Amino acid sequence: MNQRLFSLSYVVVVILLVTCFGLGSGRSTWARPLGPTSSRALREAAVARGVDWIYSQFQQDAIRGISACDAAHAVALAGQNPDSGRWVKNDESLLKRCAQAFQDMPRKDAGEAAKALLAVLAAGKDPRTFAGVDLIAFLQNHYDPETGLYHPSNLFRNALAIIALAQARQPIPEAAVQAILVQQHPDHCWGWPVGGDATDTDTSGLILHALALAGYAAHPAPNRCVARLRAMQNEDGGWELSGIYGDQVSNVDSTALVVEGLVAMGWDPETPLFTKNQNPVQALLSFQASDGSFWWRHTQPGTLLLGTTQAIPPLLMTYPNEYILPSTSYLPVITSRGSVP
């Protein structure tokens, strides 16, 4: 009897592993990827250093333009108010710089509005009256029901709009989801131009996040892109912009956006499934310099503000191994013949 119980327990474990780590048409809804001990404390410490670096740039008046919205978003996600306290200089807060930048833009598209909306939502402010604009209505008015797109030519900005509206608890039209799905490339991922044929990891990661928020995390299409991104992963655990530079050198932006998409979809980037020489989160953290900023590449600083504000959101997301599971999770019933009815 004990031997039989052991055999059945072994079958259950095998099923769990196959279900959690398989990359077929989608993952089971009853199990999550198995992961190691949470790295959250390490990630939060890195974020704190990154926010301190952003503050140093704020004090030097080095944060202007729409980048102020990216910075305000990151600061707010880290638990600080970008509209008061140390984030005010000469009666101008970081969030006000974001508002001013949005107001001053002669041509505002869905991408810029989405960045402003994400900053406002993270800061707990009213998006209906920000910078003299109703940001939610602005984005909704950019939606073209004939194409299903919020931006006519840029899928990256289109995905930003969906993410921002979903976080504002606004319904995402089914046509908007289908407009993304029909743009999927033969390799199962996406690139930034509407109608383009070159895949890039940045756009693919962001689209995974958008589709997850639209309720498509279990859909086969984005999960096939997960499999493709896994195949595109570099040996250091990170990602490049997918062959545009042709040197297989990871960068912080691509790595951050892919991690963001994976976590939003419910995949754990810290599992062996995504681990090469290190896992993607370790790869992302490795771009941080001693001053707290995140370099574009390990040997090239690039645009430090962009890299830093890009790295912070995925580091603060709740990873699958950090969810508290209910005490009674569903497990398949194993029959005496080892089959699942």
The string of pLDDT tens digits covering residues 229-249 is 999 999 999 999 985 666 789
118 is a domain residue: no
Query: Which structure tokens are listed for 246?
Result: 């042709």
- pLDDT in the model for residue 321: 87
247 is a domain residue: yes
pLDDT surpassing 80 at residue 208: yes
Q: What is the mean pLDDT of residues 109-138?
A: 97
* DSSP element (H, E) containing 92: strand 92-93
| Helix (H/G/I), strand (E/B), else coil: 89 | strand
314 is a domain residue: yes
- pLDDT in the model for residue 244: 60
Q: What is the mean pLDDT of residues 207-232?
A: 97
pLDDT surpassing 60 at residue 30: no
193 is a domain residue: yes
158 is a domain residue: no
d(CA 214, CA 47): 27
pLDDT surpassing 90 at residue 266: yes
Query: Which structure tokens are listed for 193?
Result: 């131009």
CB-based burial label for 48 (10 Å; 0-12, 13-18, 19+): middle
Q: Domain count of the chain?
A: 1
Write out the residue range of the structural domain in which residue 270 sits. Answer: 179-318
245 is a domain residue: yes
CATH of the domain at 294: 1.50.10.20
pLDDT bucket at 33, cuts 50 / 70 / 90: very low
Q: pTM for this structure? A: 0.85
328 is a domain residue: no
pLDDT surpassing 80 at residue 280: yes
183 is a domain residue: yes
pLDDT surpassing 70 at residue 134: yes
Q: What is the mean pLDDT of residues 86-108?
A: 96
pLDDT surpassing 60 at residue 329: no
d(CA 81, CA 74): 10
pLDDT bucket at 323, cuts 50 / 70 / 90: confident
Q: What is the mean pLDDT of residues 96-119?
A: 96
pLDDT per residue as tens digits for the range 150-180: 999 999 999 999 999 999 999 999 999 999 9
